Structure 1
């Protein structure tokens, strides 16, 4: 008897489902019949038969299921049947399940992994086809980070790549952090140190005493005690890069510079707002005269005296500055005149002056003093004019640059977005043309984002398909409103090694066919991962015709 109950329940459910389907078919036939006889429900606001329908039962009353005819208690959640009646709970669930299945089948299939693909594109990873064994192994390690005891012997490049992936996945914690500490290493690079505690930083210098390069980003718990331990243990340290080390005091920075002295070759700090004043920079210049690389960005307390101190560094080769305070242009000109001849990298970001007339004295100083640059970044400037950039790159004795970033060099007056009529603020058409004539032969990466005064004719002439830029791999054209499909197609023809084109805010870029191996980011209607084989097919046909001519037409091409 007990075994008969599940069978009976299953049989009742099957009958209920069959009745639901039968009711739907009857409803469809009735609708077709009405349509055939010319009846139209839209001619009247209501059907007169609705007046004779039985009122629906209220919650708490008893009712018979429309499909299985079982007696059940009506609730507020009771489903309506296909013919207007009510359904019991099993029949209602069956009807809902069937409706969901029908809706799911009618939905279009969405492409999986789209978010991951776009994330990789923004990070600069544009791999095509099957991933390499190395990539698969790195991804597997990052996925099972908590289960790994040690990495073993790995090259520095792979260790740094693993550090980047662990940081991106927020997997860098006090446990996984120890995997990157090996006694024989000379470099420790942690891209995300926000989850590390003060005692974790001491382990770097205890386990890796021979460390030469230290790079910590978001090291918000790096304190004075860590600097003391670093001075005591890391005797060979010559390259320091710290981002967000706001708990280190001015006195401790000075002690570090005194201890490292002439051995310190590279020093980079960013996002410091609690300490690190002009006096600390003066101590850095005094006790570490052999600095070759210096990067000071977004350090809140730095000002004019720091600029004057940096001007005394005779061995400086790479300089990156971004100050929060205004710096008079005369001090910048003095700095460039003193350190410019030896510089290979010059990055000056956000050096603007309020309520001052446009002037190109900074660009003139760079033209005169800097003759060995390979990387030049001069961004977010609203003082220098287009004529200044023309004069900088015209007859400049500096070799062609490898990297140029002049983004956001434009007038910032919201009341007059086109800028003054008598001159152009920032890189304009003439300035961009001078840049490409000077450095186009060696240029690998250029960023002209938000340089909105470059006209369409200039873009079309520079990237016309005939002029070639053999080394250009990446270009950022974001928020240049005149850039359209013609310009992007010209870039593909003029730059044989192009890999990445960024076009955020360029709404005239439509239906672009992206060549194989190239990534177009930001175009709203660009086709995805389309490969072009047109030129290859044409070359093959020409070769085939030549062979046929040599053989007297005896070669017959075979399809496929």
Structure 2
């Protein structure tokens, strides 16, 4: 037995020595990296030896004293370890965990969320450079504490509208905060996100604001027939109605609204209606609303060709926007423009196709012959009109120069020939774009020719050559035109002295381009992996400093000339 105990003791000693050697080698490797002295190695060897004589931790179910408060407690598998190797009772363990969590949160680096905010603003069409204004900061602070506000007080209409936009974007527009935007002396109520409002909330609009003239509700999914009845009863001065997504209003109730308030109605905008608002409702609209000046019908699934014939009877119409889900025969659309085009100031026709007929320029010809007062033209998503039709539209057109032109996505859709036919190009191509800029270039403020793939590089370079000037152009969108490159973008900067925004998504030939101060370039794919590029103020300052130094040098040389002579 004595011999066996001796062998066991020897094995334990050998294991301890091996453990010490292993730890010593690890410490030596660490010392080479951290450049520590030999004294630390000796201390680590001593600590390894002392670990052999430490008291084993109590097992679950045993009693132990808390290292901090000294209280006797029963050990569990969840008992926290104390800093000096003991255990902590439940109360001390929770407090220690709370302190550790707070310390970790304080030491954790702050992750900036500016990138997501920038992208959100970009999708909303907002771009900021430099410090925000005091007004903007105050509005954002109000939106961040929406639940704590009792009332806004007297504020201008533009500030109230901006607050409504921010509240809607932050999803803070609910039954409580909604009441902040209702004041008895107001005549306009604009709620840009009404998805969280209940049916009863909409009745409060007409009860609190009896003199309302303009109503704008977006995503009003709980706006029902009862709200229309209450609006007919209370809103005696209503002249402008904008409803988006009011799918719970029946077709008969739309007709009742036009009969009751149609004589005073001057503007109507409805969008995203699926189950109601059919051709019969549009016919009632044109019959009982003879003074209508502005009409916008977009993505209303129930309306068809018959509604086009009804709209042609609106003699006082000045602003017309149509986007249908169904195919419309071309001759009906031509007849509509011939009837109302003479008084139109705004014409927006989106996604009008007729698959039963061959490509034709009848619509563009009718616009050329009829419209004389347009300042805004939007004709998009069309693959029937040819480039020759656009040339004819803008050549010798008696209409004044356009201020807003949107002709995006007008191109040939033959996937087997993405460049389109050379002899008879479909959509806005080189000749049509040249005719557009010849007619409206001097007054044009907004231009969208995205996805007009048949405009050549030579045409872009000729129009934006830096010598021709377009003094009013502030925003241009040339996205998904593959020929647009760095030279074209630089030419836009030189030819448009008041340009503020250039959008170039899908233009992969744009590489390194210097953006002037005050201009934002959006979508350039190879510009340091940035979506937005702002003009650098520092660069302009350096250039100005160099010019000043050159002037000082010239003045010094001029003073030296008489002395030398």
Give the structure-1-normalised TM-score: 0.79
Aligned pair in 2 of structure 1 residues 111, 484: CA closer, same or farther (>3 Å)?
Answer: farther
Aligned pair in 2 of structure 1 residues 426, 66: CA closer, same or farther (>3 Å)?
Answer: farther
* Cα drift, residue 415 of structure 1: 3.2
CA distance in 1 between counterparts of 2:312 and 2:49 reads 91
What root-mean-square deviation, in Å, do the aligned CA atoms of Structure 1 and Structure 2 show? Answer: 3.1
2:170 equivalent to 1:169 = yes
* Cα drift, residue 414 of structure 1: 2.7
Deviations 1:297-347 (A, max 9, x none): 011111111101111111000000001111111111111011001000000
2:28 equivalent to 1:26 = yes
- Residue 408 of structure 1 corresponds to 409
- Residue 425 of structure 1 corresponds to 426
* Cα drift, residue 417 of structure 1: 2.4
* Cα drift, residue 26 of structure 1: 2.0
- Residue 57 of structure 1 corresponds to none
Q: Tell me which structure has the larger Cα radius of gyration.
A: 2
Aligned pair in 2 of structure 1 residues 464, 442: CA closer, same or farther (>3 Å)?
Answer: same
Q: Is the 8 A contact 2:520 2:535 kept in 1?
A: no
* Cα drift, residue 427 of structure 1: 0.7
Deviations 1:463-516 (A, max 9, x none): 111111111111111111111111111111111111111111111111222222
CA distance in 1 between counterparts of 2:286 and 2:525 reads 49
Aligned pair in 2 of structure 1 residues 110, 151: CA closer, same or farther (>3 Å)?
Answer: closer
Q: Is the 8 A contact 2:446 2:474 kept in 1?
A: yes
* Cα drift, residue 188 of structure 1: 0.3
CA distance in 2 between counterparts of 1:413 and 1:362 reads 22
CA distance in 1 between counterparts of 2:152 and 2:163 reads 10
Q: Is the 8 A contact 1:548 1:554 kept in 2?
A: no
- Residue 529 of structure 1 corresponds to 534
Q: Is the 8 A contact 1:65 1:71 kept in 2?
A: no
Aligned pair in 2 of structure 1 residues 24, 423: CA closer, same or farther (>3 Å)?
Answer: farther
- Residue 294 of structure 2 corresponds to 293
CA distance in 2 between counterparts of 1:67 and 1:492 reads 76
CA distance in 2 between counterparts of 1:253 and 1:482 reads 49
Note the residue ranges of structure 2 that are not aligned, 5 or more in a row.
Answer: 1-21, 36-46, 58-80, 86-107, 561-565
Q: Is the 8 A contact 1:513 1:526 kept in 2?
A: no
The range that moved more, 117-126 or 481-490, is: 117-126
Aligned pair in 2 of structure 1 residues 416, 137: CA closer, same or farther (>3 Å)?
Answer: same
Aligned pair in 2 of structure 1 residues 22, 430: CA closer, same or farther (>3 Å)?
Answer: farther
Q: Is the 8 A contact 2:322 2:350 kept in 1?
A: yes
Q: Is the 8 A contact 2:388 2:432 kept in 1?
A: yes
2:558 equivalent to 1:553 = yes
2:197 equivalent to 1:192 = no
* Cα drift, residue 451 of structure 1: 0.8
* Cα drift, residue 141 of structure 1: 0.4
Deviations 1:82-138 (A, max 9, x none): xxxxxxx999x9xxxxxxxxxxxxx99976512212222332222322211101100
- Residue 129 of structure 2 corresponds to 128
* Cα drift, residue 265 of structure 1: 0.4
Aligned pair in 2 of structure 1 residues 460, 207: CA closer, same or farther (>3 Å)?
Answer: same
* Cα drift, residue 142 of structure 1: 0.5
CA distance in 2 between counterparts of 1:468 and 1:175 reads 52
Q: Is the 8 A contact 1:65 1:72 kept in 2?
A: no
- Residue 226 of structure 1 corresponds to 227
- Residue 325 of structure 1 corresponds to 326
- Residue 269 of structure 2 corresponds to 268
* Cα drift, residue 183 of structure 1: 0.4
- Residue 101 of structure 2 corresponds to none
Q: How does 1:363-378 map to 2 (within 5 A)?
A: 363-378=364-379
* Cα drift, residue 378 of structure 1: 0.3
Aligned pair in 2 of structure 1 residues 480, 109: CA closer, same or farther (>3 Å)?
Answer: farther
Q: Is the 8 A contact 2:338 2:366 kept in 1?
A: yes
Deviations 1:38-75 (A, max 9, x none): xxxxxxxxxxxxxxxxxxxxxxxxxx9899555779xx
* Cα drift, residue 143 of structure 1: 0.3
Aligned pair in 2 of structure 1 residues 31, 539: CA closer, same or farther (>3 Å)?
Answer: closer
- Residue 159 of structure 2 corresponds to 158
Q: Secondary structure at the match of 1:271?
A: strand
Give the structure-2-normalised TM-score: 0.79
2:519 equivalent to 1:518 = yes
Aligned pair in 2 of structure 1 residues 514, 305: CA closer, same or farther (>3 Å)?
Answer: same
* Cα drift, residue 165 of structure 1: 0.6
Note the residue ranges of structure 1 that are not aligned, 5 or more in a row.
Answer: 1-19, 34-63, 74-88, 94-106, 556-560
- Residue 358 of structure 2 corresponds to 357
- Residue 253 of structure 1 corresponds to 254
CA distance in 2 between counterparts of 1:23 and 1:335 reads 92
Q: How does 1:471-510 map to 2 (within 5 A)?
A: 471-510=472-511
Q: Secondary structure at the match of 2:466?
A: coil
CA distance in 1 between counterparts of 2:367 and 2:341 reads 7
CA distance in 2 between counterparts of 1:192 and 1:175 reads 14
* Cα drift, residue 24 of structure 1: 6.4
CA distance in 2 between counterparts of 1:546 and 1:324 reads 65
Aligned pair in 2 of structure 1 residues 66, 373: CA closer, same or farther (>3 Å)?
Answer: farther
Greater relative contact order (Cα < 8 A, sep 6+): 1
* Cα drift, residue 539 of structure 1: 6.8
Aligned pair in 2 of structure 1 residues 179, 23: CA closer, same or farther (>3 Å)?
Answer: farther
Q: Is the 8 A contact 1:473 1:498 kept in 2?
A: yes
Q: Is the 8 A contact 1:411 1:417 kept in 2?
A: yes
Q: Is the 8 A contact 2:23 2:48 kept in 1?
A: no
CA distance in 1 between counterparts of 2:339 and 2:23 reads 88
CA distance in 2 between counterparts of 1:538 and 1:310 reads 58
Q: Is the 8 A contact 2:519 2:535 kept in 1?
A: no
Deviations 1:222-249 (A, max 9, x none): 1110000000000000000000111111
The range that moved more, 456-465 or 542-551, is: 542-551
Aligned pair in 2 of structure 1 residues 552, 422: CA closer, same or farther (>3 Å)?
Answer: closer
Q: Is the 8 A contact 1:289 1:314 kept in 2?
A: yes
